[in-house]
Structure 1
C-alpha cells in the first residue's frame, strides 16, 4: 500500500512539473511574439519590406502559444479530450495551419535575406513595390491552408467513417503514412533544403567578395575603381580615419602618386570629392560585409534549430503512421510534439533580436529610460 502511494505521489509531482513547464512554454511563446508584434505597431522604423515577414511569422507563432498549446495541455496531461469533436476539429485545423505557416514564413524570410545579400541591386529596385510583401504574406497562409486543412476537414467524409474515438483528438489520416510522407516533404524536407541552400549561397557570396578583395590588393586601381581589400581590411596601426585617407590616396592615378606627401592636403584641409567618395565607398563596403556576415551566421543558427525542432516529430510521425502507432511509444511522440512547438517560442529570439532596429524597439518598450540614455549618447 505504501509502495502504491509513493507511485501515485511521484506521478502527481511529475504531472505538476509537466504542467508548469507546458504553461511556461506557452507564456514565453505568447509574450515573445506579442513583443515583436507590438514593436512593429509602435515603431515606424520597423515597417520595412522584409520586416513584414517577421510580423507574419510572429502572428502565426503567437496564435500557436495563445490557442494551440493551452487547449492541448489538459489533453496531454490526462490523455482524454473533453472539449467535444467540434472543438477538436477546429483545434486540429488551427494547429496544422499555424505550424505550417510558421515554417513557410521561415523559408520566406531566408529567401528575402538571400536576395538582399546575393542580388542587392535588383532587391533594392524591387523595394518600391509596396504590395509585394502583402501578396507574399497572403500566399503563405493560402499554401499553408491547402497543405493539411482540406484533409483535416473532409478525410472522414471521403473515407466514409471516423477512426478517432470520442475522448481522443488527432487527425483522421494519422495512419496513412504515404499521405504523411508527401505532406511532410512539403512542410519540412523541402523547406529545410531551401533554407540550407539559401544559407550556403550567402556564405559563398561573402567568400567570393573576400577573395575578390584579396586579389585586388596591391594592384593599381583602375579609373573609378577602388581596392576591395583595402576597404574591407583596415591596416594595423591605423585608425579608421587614417585608413580612409590611405585608401583614398591609393586610389589616385599614377601621376598623382608621384606627388610628395607634403603637397597632399592635410587632414585639416578640405576634402576633395574623390577622397570623400572613396571614404564613403569603403565605409559602405565594410558595413555591408559585416551585415551580411551577421545574416549568414543567424541563418546558420536558424537552419540548425529548425532541423532540431522539426526533424524528430516529422520522422516519428511517418514511422508512427506506417506501423499504426504500435512501434512508437506515446511519451516519445509527445516529446517531439512539444519540441516542434518549441520552435515557435524560439523564433522571436532567433529573428528580430538579430536586427539592431528590433533590439532598439524592444528596449524602447521594456526599458524606456535605458532607451533614452542610448539615444542621447548616440548624438
Structure 2
C-alpha cells in the first residue's frame, strides 16, 4: 500500500528549508473546494449583510450598526486572511515572505479581537434592550453605538502591534524559537509565554466571560418577565370576573427584541464554539514549547465562523431574507428602494 503523502522540502536549494507534505491530487482538489467554498460564502454572505444594513433606512439602528461592524470584520477575514491560509493549507509551506507573515498574523489577531469586541457591544445592547427597556433609547443611541464600535476596533489594534514588534519577547524565548522553530517556509510569530497568555486573556477569555454573564442575566430577566406576564393573564382574568381593574403596568419586552436577542446569542455561541480550540491552543503551545506542524496554524475551525454568521441571519431574520431577494432580483436599484419596508 502506497503512502498517501510524500515528504519534500519547501525550498529545495535552501539549507534550512522546512519540510513540505505533498498531498495526492484528489486530496488537494478536495481541500481547495472546501476552503474555497468557505471563502466565497464568507465574502458574499457578509457583503450581503453590509449592503442590506447600509442601504435600507429601516435597518439603521444601533443593534444593526454592531452587526454591520461584525460583518466588516468577517468580510476582511474572507478577503485578506483566508486566501493565504488556503494556499498554506494545500502547499503546507509559507511562500509569502517574513514581512507579510507578520502582517498576516497581526491582521488575524486584530480581526478576531475586533469580532469578539463587537459581540461584547451586541451583548451590552441586548442587555439594555431586555433588562432596561425604558433606558434603552437613552443609553444606546446611534452616537454611542459608533463610539463603542470605534473603541472596539482601536483596542483590537493593540494585540496586532504586540505581534508586529519583537521586543515583547524575552531573550530566552527568542533563542528557543530560533533553535527549534525557524526554518524557511514556516510562518509563525512567536510570543513569550506570558505575553501570549496575557493577550489570550484580554482578547478572548475576559470578553467571553463578560458576554456569557450578560446573556445569562438577559435570559434570566426574560424568563422572569415571561412568568410574570403569564401570571398577570390569570390575575386579569380573575379581576375581570370580579369587576376589579388592574392599573399597574410594567414595561414589557417586545417579541422582536426577544427574537433578536436569541439570534445574536446564537451568533455569540457559534463564535465561542469555533474559536475556543484556537485560543486554548494559543496558550498551551507557547507554554509547552511545542510548535507542531504548520497545518496546526491553519485555523479553519475559527475562520468558518465568519461564514456562519450570514447563515444564522438568513435562518432567523425575516428582514435579511426579504432584503436578500430585493438585492438578488435587482430591485435595490429602483428609486426609493432604501425606504422599502422589510
- TM (normalized to structure 1)? 0.72
The residue number in structure 1 matching 2:218 is 202
The residue number in structure 1 matching 2:256 is 291
Contiguous gaps of at least 5 residues in structure 2: 7-21, 335-340
Deviation at 1:123, TM superposition (A): 0.8
The residue number in structure 1 matching 2:189 is 171
Deviation at 1:301, TM superposition (A): 2.6
Match runs of 1:274-285 below 5 Å: none
Structure 1 residue 49 corresponds to structure 2 residue 48: no
Structure 1 residue 311 corresponds to structure 2 residue 267: no
Q: Tell me how large the CA RMSD over aligned residues is.
A: 3.4
Q: Is the 8 A contact 2:61 2:142 kept in 1?
A: no
What is the CA deviation profile of residues 15-58 of structure 1, one whole-angstrom value per residue up to 9, with x for unaligned ones?
Answer: 22112211111111111111111112221111112211111101
Q: Residue 302 of structure 1 is aligned with which of 267, 272, 276?
A: 267
> Which is further off, 159-168 or 44-53?
159-168
Deviation at 1:292, TM superposition (A): 4.1
Match runs of 1:14-33 below 5 Å: 14-33=27-46
Contiguous gaps of at least 5 residues in structure 1: 220-226, 231-246, 258-276, 373-377
Structure 1 residue 339 corresponds to structure 2 residue 338: no
What is the CA deviation profile of residues 70-121 of structure 1, one whole-angstrom value per residue up to 9, with x for unaligned ones?
Answer: 0222222222222222222221221111111111111111221111111111
Structure 1 residue 363 corresponds to structure 2 residue 325: yes
Deviation at 1:66, TM superposition (A): 0.4
Figure out how many residues of one structure are paired with residues of the other and give that number. 311
Runs of 4+ in 1 over 4 A off after TM superposition: 6-10, 156-162, 251-254, 328-331
What is the CA deviation profile of residues 132-179 of structure 1, one whole-angstrom value per residue up to 9, with x for unaligned ones?
Answer: 121111101111111x12221212586576844442212131xx3322
Q: Is the 8 A contact 1:203 1:296 kept in 2?
A: no
Q: Residue 186 of structure 1 is aligned with which of 202, 211, 214?
A: 202
Structure 1 residue 39 corresponds to structure 2 residue 1: no
Which has the larger Rg? 1
Deviation at 1:13, TM superposition (A): 1.6
The residue number in structure 2 matching 1:265 is none
Q: Is the 8 A contact 2:94 2:185 kept in 1?
A: yes
Distance 1:71 1:329, change over 3 A: closer
The residue number in structure 2 matching 1:250 is 240
Task: State how far apart, in whole Å, the 2-side matches of 1:294 and 1:145 are.
Answer: 32
The residue number in structure 1 matching 2:110 is 97
Q: Residue 74 of structure 2 is aligned with which of 27, 45, 61?
A: 61
Deviation at 1:334, TM superposition (A): 4.4
